[in-house]
Amino acid sequence: MTTPLLETRGVWQRFGGLIANSDVSISVGAGEIVGLIGPNGAGKSTLFNLIAGVLPPTQGSIWFNGEDVTRMPAAERCQRGIARTFQVVKSFETMTVIDNVIVGALVRTTVMRDARRKAQEVLEFCGLGARANVLASQLIPSEKRRLEVARALATEPKLLLLDECLTGLTPLEAQSGVALVRKVRETGVTVLMVEHVMEIVMPLVDRAIVLNLGKVLVEGKPTDVVRHPEVISAYLGDRHAISA
């Protein structure tokens, strides 16, 4: 078996007395779309932040592309090829849409002309080409989500981390969001997406990892995972019935 692109080995995260992640070991292979799902408080966001480099884990290690990145700051991980979006969008509000994306592009080049060209390409790719010169603060919410993705893609990541990027969109918007994620994968980028609502992600992902109470509950093909009794009870306990 080839080494996976991303691997967490026995990761623990404690906040005071609270254990957010206990002994989580997951792996993501190159080219996959993996969904990280689970009910509220399952520890998804914590794990996501550990991988993105917001904080180091209490225990355990995180490996990316054969390198130990456990204590590497977020900015350096981005240079290595990990990019992320934020659940609560964090656009650079006083900058134009294209300038937002240029910030990302500058990780790979310092030539402004190249960065600008790259940013324009990514914007076209994400369907925001026509909005390039608008201030980010003027975008509607679904466009801001796209901008998050565009900014991350401009860093030319190997692994794209999506934090609930489809939650809260209208069905139509979510559909085009799904299409965008597929398109991203076709360009060879590996995707790890955290989602709370299963229906959205299940048709999209190759593999699903279900977290519950800070632990990996099940992982496998989405069709198998949704039928798993423990998953159903975990979700039912959270009063989120699955329609699948």
Partner 1 sequence: MDTTFAQSRRRDLILAIFLAALAAVVPFFVKDVNIQNIMVLTLMWAALSQSWNILSGYCGQISLGHALYFGLGAYTTTLLFTKFGVLPWFGMVAGGTISALIALGLGYPTFRLRGHYFVIATIVIAEIGLLLFHNWDYAGAALGIDVPVRGDSWAKFQFTRSKLPYYYFALVFCCVAWLVTWKLENSKWGFWWRAVKDNPDAAESLGVVVFNSKMGAAAISAFMTAIGGAFYAQYVSYIDPDSVMTFQFSLLMALPAVLGGIGTLWGPVLGAVILIPLTELTRNYLGGSGRGVDLILYGAVIVLISLARPEGLIGLFSRKPASKGVPQ
User: DSSP of 23-39, one letter per residue?
Assistant: EEEEEE-TT-EEEEE-S
Residue among 137 and 176 whose Cβ is closer to partner 1: 137
Binding of partner 1 by 73 (CB under 8 A): yes
Q: Rounded distance, CA 207 to CA 150, Å?
A: 24
Contact residue for partner 1 among 65, 87, 120, 142 (CB under 8 A): 120
Contact residue for partner 1 among 3, 40, 137, 223 (CB under 8 A): 137
Binding of partner 1 by 86 (CB under 8 A): yes
Tokens of 218: 């099940």
Q: CB of residue 220 vs partner 1: minimum separation in angstroms?
A: 30
Binding of partner 1 by 95 (CB under 8 A): yes
- How many residues belong to the chain? 244
Q: Rounded distance, CA 99 to CA 74, Å?
A: 21
The site that binds partner 1 (CB under 8 A) totals a number of residues, namely: 39
Q: Rounded distance, CA 222 to CA 217, Å?
A: 13
Q: State the DSSP code for 42.
A: S
Q: Are strands 207-212 and 215-220 parallel, antiparallel or unpaired?
A: antiparallel
Binding of partner 1 by 37 (CB under 8 A): no
Binding of partner 1 by 110 (CB under 8 A): yes
Question: Sign of the C-alpha dihedral, residues 217, 220, 221, 224?
Answer: negative
Binding of partner 1 by 56 (CB under 8 A): no
Interacting residue ranges for partner 1, rule: CB under 8 A: 52, 54, 73-75, 78-79, 83-84, 86, 90-95, 98-99, 102-104, 106-107, 110, 112-113, 116-117, 120, 132-135, 137-138, 151-152, 154-155
